[in-house]
Amino acid sequence: MQLEIAWDDKEANTEYVQAVVTAIDPIVDARFLYEQHELAQQPCYELGAMVCYYGQHYVIFSRRGADWIFMDDGNTSVVGAWPAVIDKCVKGRYQPSVLLYSCRDKSVRSVPRELAS
């Protein structure tokens, strides 16, 4: 599942970034999004990657096990747990733009046909 965040400002201030990043939940219950849809049968989605924008540049946070990895062009570093990601976003004023969630139930392998088109 993909969620996108539209920003009013290309360079948001620290307080605005903090408000948005702290509102991101790394676990999403799809029953709140799809009340009577097939996706509601597998409700838990876990944040696996986040694309962020800063000053005409994009960076990526990607989860590997319990740790989050930060990727900026050729530089890669381990950030740590989710609270450390929040802290890095706020300090760097990285604006989350695309959130990529995956189903926690590994038996779910495909997107329902009506959503694929």
Lowest-confidence segment of 54-68, 78-92, 102-116 by average pLDDT: 102-116
Q: What is the pLDDT of residue 8?
A: 85
Instruction: Say if residue 56's pLDDT is above 60.
Output: yes
Kindly indicate the confidence band of residue 30, based on its pLDDT and cuts at 50, 70 and 90.
confident
CA distance 103 to 87: 26
pLDDT band per the 50, 70, 90 thresholds, residue 42: low
- The CB-side HSE value for 26 (13 A sphere, CA atoms) comes to 14
CATH topology of domain 2-105: Cathepsin B; Chain A (3.90.70)
